[in-house]
Structure 1
Amino acid sequence: MADNADIATEIMERRLEGALANRPRWVGLDLAATECDDCGGEIPAARRQAAPWAITCIECQGIRERRAAQRR
Protein backbone atom coordinates (compact mmCIF):
# COMPACT_ATOMS: atom_id res chain seq x y z
CA MET A 1 0.00 0.00 0.00
CA ALA A 2 1.31 3.44 -0.94
CA ASP A 3 1.96 6.05 1.70
CA ASN A 4 1.29 9.78 1.35
CA ALA A 5 4.78 10.51 0.02
CA ASP A 6 4.36 7.93 -2.75
CA ILE A 7 0.98 9.34 -3.70
CA ALA A 8 2.32 12.90 -3.72
CA THR A 9 5.26 11.86 -5.89
CA GLU A 10 2.95 10.15 -8.36
CA ILE A 11 0.71 13.23 -8.57
CA MET A 12 3.72 15.51 -9.13
CA GLU A 13 5.07 13.24 -11.86
CA ARG A 14 1.72 13.22 -13.67
CA ARG A 15 1.48 17.02 -13.48
CA LEU A 16 5.02 17.43 -14.77
CA GLU A 17 4.35 15.06 -17.66
CA GLY A 18 1.20 17.00 -18.51
CA ALA A 19 3.00 20.34 -18.38
CA LEU A 20 5.78 19.07 -20.62
CA ALA A 21 3.30 17.60 -23.08
CA ASN A 22 1.41 20.91 -23.28
CA ARG A 23 4.39 23.26 -23.55
CA PRO A 24 4.66 25.28 -26.74
CA ARG A 25 6.32 23.28 -29.50
CA TRP A 26 8.61 26.18 -30.44
CA VAL A 27 10.41 26.19 -27.07
CA GLY A 28 14.08 25.73 -27.79
CA LEU A 29 13.77 26.58 -31.47
CA ASP A 30 15.16 29.74 -33.04
CA LEU A 31 11.80 31.22 -34.01
CA ALA A 32 12.12 34.56 -32.25
CA ALA A 33 10.10 37.41 -33.72
CA THR A 34 12.22 40.14 -35.26
CA GLU A 35 9.50 42.80 -35.35
CA CYS A 36 7.55 44.18 -32.38
CA ASP A 37 3.83 43.37 -32.50
CA ASP A 38 2.94 46.73 -30.96
CA CYS A 39 5.14 49.36 -32.61
CA GLY A 40 6.53 47.48 -35.60
CA GLY A 41 10.10 48.32 -34.63
CA GLU A 42 12.90 45.80 -34.58
CA ILE A 43 13.30 43.59 -31.52
CA PRO A 44 17.02 43.77 -30.66
CA ALA A 45 19.03 40.58 -31.13
CA ALA A 46 20.03 40.54 -27.46
CA ARG A 47 16.35 40.50 -26.42
CA ARG A 48 15.52 37.78 -28.96
CA GLN A 49 18.37 35.68 -27.61
CA ALA A 50 17.47 36.25 -23.96
CA ALA A 51 13.70 35.83 -24.47
CA PRO A 52 13.00 33.95 -27.70
CA TRP A 53 9.26 33.99 -26.91
CA ALA A 54 9.21 37.81 -26.91
CA ILE A 55 6.85 39.41 -29.41
CA THR A 56 7.46 43.01 -28.34
CA CYS A 57 10.45 45.28 -27.93
CA ILE A 58 11.53 46.17 -24.41
CA GLU A 59 9.80 49.55 -24.46
CA CYS A 60 6.46 48.14 -25.57
CA GLN A 61 6.73 45.26 -23.10
CA GLY A 62 7.20 47.81 -20.33
CA ILE A 63 4.05 49.60 -21.45
CA ARG A 64 2.12 46.31 -21.45
CA GLU A 65 3.32 45.48 -17.96
CA ARG A 66 2.42 48.91 -16.58
CA ARG A 67 -1.07 48.65 -18.09
CA ALA A 68 -1.54 45.18 -16.62
CA ALA A 69 -0.43 46.44 -13.19
CA GLN A 70 -2.97 49.27 -13.36
CA ARG A 71 -5.78 46.81 -14.06
CA ARG A 72 -5.05 44.82 -10.90
Structure 2
Amino acid sequence: MADIADFANDLVQERIDQAVAARLALMSSTALHSLMFCDECDEPIPEARRLAQPGCTLCIGCKTSDDLRASRYAR
Protein backbone atom coordinates (compact mmCIF):
# COMPACT_ATOMS: atom_id res chain seq x y z
CA MET A 1 0.00 0.00 0.00
CA ALA A 2 1.40 3.35 -1.04
CA ASP A 3 1.87 5.96 1.64
CA ILE A 4 2.21 9.73 1.32
CA ALA A 5 6.01 9.57 0.93
CA ASP A 6 5.67 7.23 -2.08
CA PHE A 7 3.09 9.57 -3.60
CA ALA A 8 5.39 12.56 -3.05
CA ASN A 9 8.34 10.72 -4.61
CA ASP A 10 6.26 9.79 -7.65
CA LEU A 11 5.10 13.39 -8.04
CA VAL A 12 8.63 14.77 -7.80
CA GLN A 13 9.94 12.21 -10.29
CA GLU A 14 7.16 13.10 -12.72
CA ARG A 15 8.07 16.80 -12.49
CA ILE A 16 11.75 16.02 -13.01
CA ASP A 17 10.93 13.90 -16.06
CA GLN A 18 8.81 16.71 -17.49
CA ALA A 19 11.56 19.27 -16.93
CA VAL A 20 14.19 17.04 -18.55
CA ALA A 21 11.92 16.36 -21.53
CA ALA A 22 11.26 20.08 -21.97
CA ARG A 23 14.98 20.85 -21.77
CA LEU A 24 15.84 18.17 -24.32
CA ALA A 25 13.13 19.42 -26.67
CA LEU A 26 14.47 22.96 -26.38
CA MET A 27 18.05 21.83 -27.00
CA SER A 28 17.14 19.84 -30.09
CA SER A 29 15.12 22.68 -31.60
CA THR A 30 17.87 25.23 -31.04
CA ALA A 31 20.89 23.05 -31.75
CA LEU A 32 23.86 25.15 -32.69
CA HIS A 33 26.71 24.20 -34.97
CA SER A 34 29.92 23.26 -33.17
CA LEU A 35 33.22 24.46 -34.54
CA MET A 36 35.79 21.97 -35.79
CA PHE A 37 38.70 24.04 -34.45
CA CYS A 38 39.05 25.99 -31.21
CA ASP A 39 38.54 29.77 -31.37
CA GLU A 40 41.40 30.35 -28.94
CA CYS A 41 44.21 27.98 -29.92
CA ASP A 42 43.10 26.63 -33.35
CA GLU A 43 43.50 23.02 -32.15
CA PRO A 44 40.90 20.50 -33.38
CA ILE A 45 37.91 20.05 -31.06
CA PRO A 46 37.32 16.31 -30.45
CA GLU A 47 34.16 14.89 -32.02
CA ALA A 48 32.96 13.60 -28.65
CA ARG A 49 32.99 17.14 -27.26
CA ARG A 50 31.21 18.54 -30.30
CA LEU A 51 28.48 15.92 -29.92
CA ALA A 52 28.18 16.34 -26.14
CA GLN A 53 28.13 20.16 -26.26
CA PRO A 54 26.35 21.38 -29.40
CA GLY A 55 27.54 24.86 -30.28
CA CYS A 56 30.91 24.59 -28.55
CA THR A 57 33.59 26.94 -29.80
CA LEU A 58 36.48 26.08 -27.46
CA CYS A 59 38.51 22.92 -26.92
CA ILE A 60 38.48 21.32 -23.48
CA GLY A 61 41.71 22.97 -22.36
CA CYS A 62 40.66 26.45 -23.41
CA LYS A 63 37.17 26.01 -21.96
CA THR A 64 38.67 24.93 -18.63
CA SER A 65 40.93 27.99 -18.61
CA ASP A 66 38.00 30.20 -19.55
CA ASP A 67 35.86 28.75 -16.73
CA LEU A 68 38.66 29.28 -14.20
CA ARG A 69 39.16 32.85 -15.36
CA ALA A 70 35.43 33.52 -15.14
CA SER A 71 35.20 32.01 -11.65
CA ARG A 72 37.88 34.41 -10.39
CA TYR A 73 35.87 37.41 -11.53
CA ALA A 74 32.49 36.05 -10.39
CA ARG A 75 33.08 36.96 -6.76
TM-score using structure 1 length: 0.58
Question: Could you give the per-residue CA deviations for residues 20-53 of structure 1, whole angstroms, max 9, x where no partner exists?
Answer: 2222117xx9x542133x4272433xx2224521
Greater helix percent: which structure?
2
**Runs of at least 4 residues of structure 1 off by over 3 A?**
none
Between the aligned partners of 2:71 and 2:37, the Cα distance in structure 1 is: 25
Amino acid at match of 1:22: R
Q: Which runs of 5+ in 2 are unaligned?
A: none
SS in 1 for 2:28: coil
TM-score using structure 2 length: 0.57
Q: CA RMSD in A?
A: 3.0
How many positions carry a matched residue from both structures? Answer: 66
